Amino acid sequence: MKMLPISNTFYQPFTKYESEKMQLEHILQEYHRKNPNLRLSTPQHYRADDPLFHYMTHRFPTFQGFSHKQLEESTTIMDGMDIAIFRHIRYLPALLHTHEFFEMVYIIDGKCMNHIGNRKFFMQPGDVCIIAPGTEHSIAAFDDDCIILNFLIRTSTFDSTFMNIFSDMEIISDFFMKTLYGNYNDFYLLFHTGNDKEMLETIYQLLCEYHEFRRHKQKFTNLHIAMLFLLLIRNHEQDVFISNPRNTKSEGNFIYILHYLQANYLTLTLGELSSFFSYSERQMSRILHDYTGMSFSENIQKLRMEHAARLLRSTPLPISEVAVESGYTNTTHFRQIFKKCYGVGPSEFRNSNK
């Protein structure tokens, strides 16, 4: 079984925590070898009557946490911290579970099978998977070479770091808010970062900070998590796979479709959008509805109304000019749509936001 090489500084933060975990892995590996009929790499729920689980929870107290189907922030992430970091235990049965927090899985070496809802996919070195709260999943890491890090992140911290990146891109921010917090069984984000040295260096710095006891530890770890998210978006937005929330065919270009909508919503038509991405209008309509739950016109209208609201809050422009600036040539029609969207007319909205 592959040890974490002490000579490699990247792994040094883990070395003093490895003894018990390696002991546990050897027992699990042997149990897996002797009992192939149990198919421990197949997703399964914890069973209190299973002799392996019974033995492990008594022999290794830390194993007890894996026996809970629902993992809670209060019992998983230490008080005074917003994240927890663990190396995933190899040969651990692929126990299905959910949690209240976000999980980010990072593969350093080897490969594993990730089961999320009805989907399964291999992860290899450099892959990063972000899993939302309430999503049932399991990881099957039955390989001596597997070195996998699990980052457990409070939802409030995820909001203030990952979601904040998209604060000036309404349609992308809204999409992630709906899907990551929506009632979807198998939504996830999968980034293929390969051998990104910036990512590796930032993770190493985060591990060092996490495993030491220094002043302002919480703030520094949060800063490093924010840096990781920024690197993911800056370096690998083109590499991200976004699962289709409606369980139909996933669209590799979807993040670019959102960007194109955001950049051109004032004048864009469905025909222009479809043509730009080489789809028929029917295909594009399906993609938008699958991922956002809204039609093309509903997405455009939402973006235009948000733009109008910003103008009303921050400029003295007449309502007629706000309408034109928001893509509407008919002021009466603009007033009707705005009131339907915000519950009040543009003038009343402006007065209440002074």
Tell me, yes or no, whether 117 lies in a domain: yes
Helical (H) or strand (E) element with 163: none
Are 290 and 303 in the same domain?
no
| Residue numbers of the domain that contains 314 | 298-352
Q: Strand, coil or helix: what is 105?
A: strand
CB atoms within 10 A of CB 87: 19
pLDDT confidence band for 124 (50 / 70 / 90)? very high
Q: Does 1 map to a domain?
A: no
Residue 248 covered by a domain = no
Q: Would 172 be classed as within a structural domain? A: yes
Q: How many CB atoms lie within 10 A of CB 146?
A: 24
Residues 64-73 have pLDDT tens digits of 555 556 778 8
Q: Which of 69, 144, 143 is nearest to 113 (CA)?
A: 143
- pLDDT for 144-156, tens place per residue? 888 999 999 998 8
At 69 the pLDDT is 66
Rounded average pLDDT over 288-300: 91
Which residue in the block uniquely carries the two structure tokens 């018990």? 20
Question: Two tokens at 164?
Answer: 């904040």
Token look-up 């604060």 returns: 167
Burial profile 255-289: b = 16 or more Cβ within 10 angstroms, e = fewer: bebbebbbeebeebebeebbeeeebeeeebbbbbe
Does residue 6 carry a pLDDT above 50?
A: no
Name the helix (H) or strand (E) containing 109. strand 102-109
Read off the pLDDT of residues 179-228 as tens digits, 9 standing for 90 and up: 666 666 667 889 999 999 999 999 999 998 998 888 999 999 999 999 99
Q: Which pair of tokens denotes residue 196?
A: 């990104």
Q: Are residues 194 and 338 in the same domain?
A: no
Q: Per residue in 27-85, pLDDT tens? A: 888 888 888 887 888 888 776 667 766 666 666 555 555 555 677 888 889 899 999 99
Q: What is the pLDDT of residues 247-277, one digit of tens each?
A: 667 777 788 888 899 889 999 999 999 999 9
Question: Which residues pair with residue 139 across a beta bridge?
Answer: 114
pLDDT interval class at 5 (50, 70, 90): very low
User: What is the pLDDT confidence band of residue 4, given thresholds at 50, 70 and 90?
Assistant: very low
**Domain-embedded: residue 4:** no
Is residue 184 domain-resident? yes
Helices (H), 70-169: 73-76, 155-161
Residues 106 and 181 in one domain: yes
Cβ 149 vs Cβ 210: under 8 Å: no
> Does residue 309 belong to any structural domain of this protein?
yes
- Tell whether 57 and 69 lie within a shared domain: yes
Residues 270 and 319 in one domain: no
Q: What pLDDT score was predicted for residue 7?
A: 36
Contact (CB, 8 A) for 91 and 146: no
Regarding whether 185 and 86 lie in a shared domain, the answer is yes
* 80/146 same-domain check: yes
Same domain, 69 and 218: yes
Q: Residue 325 and residue 267: Cα distance in Å, rounded?
A: 11
Average pLDDT, the chain: 84
Q: Are 204 and 302 in the same domain?
A: no
**How far is C-alpha 224 from the chain's CA centre?**
16
Q: Which amino acid is at 168?
A: D
* Amino acid symbol at 149: L
Q: Are residues 126 and 14 in the same domain?
A: yes
Cβ–Cβ < 8 Å for 107, 148 = yes
Q: What percentage of the chain carries pLDDT values higher than 90?
A: 44
What is the domain count for the chain? 3
Do 284 and 302 belong together in one domain?
A: no
Question: What CATH number did the domain enclosing 334 receive?
Answer: 1.10.10.60
DSSP-assigned letter for residue 97? B
Partners of 151 in the beta sheet?
Answer: 85, 104
Q: Does 289 share its domain with 337?
A: no
Contact between 148 and 104 (Cβ < 8 Å): no
User: What's the order of all strands across the beta sheet hosting 112-116?
Assistant: 119-123, 112-116, 137-140
Q: CA-CA distance, 320 to 18, in Å (whole number)?
A: 67
Kindly state the DSSP code that residue 338 receives in the 8-state scheme: H
Whether 2 maps to a domain, the answer reads no
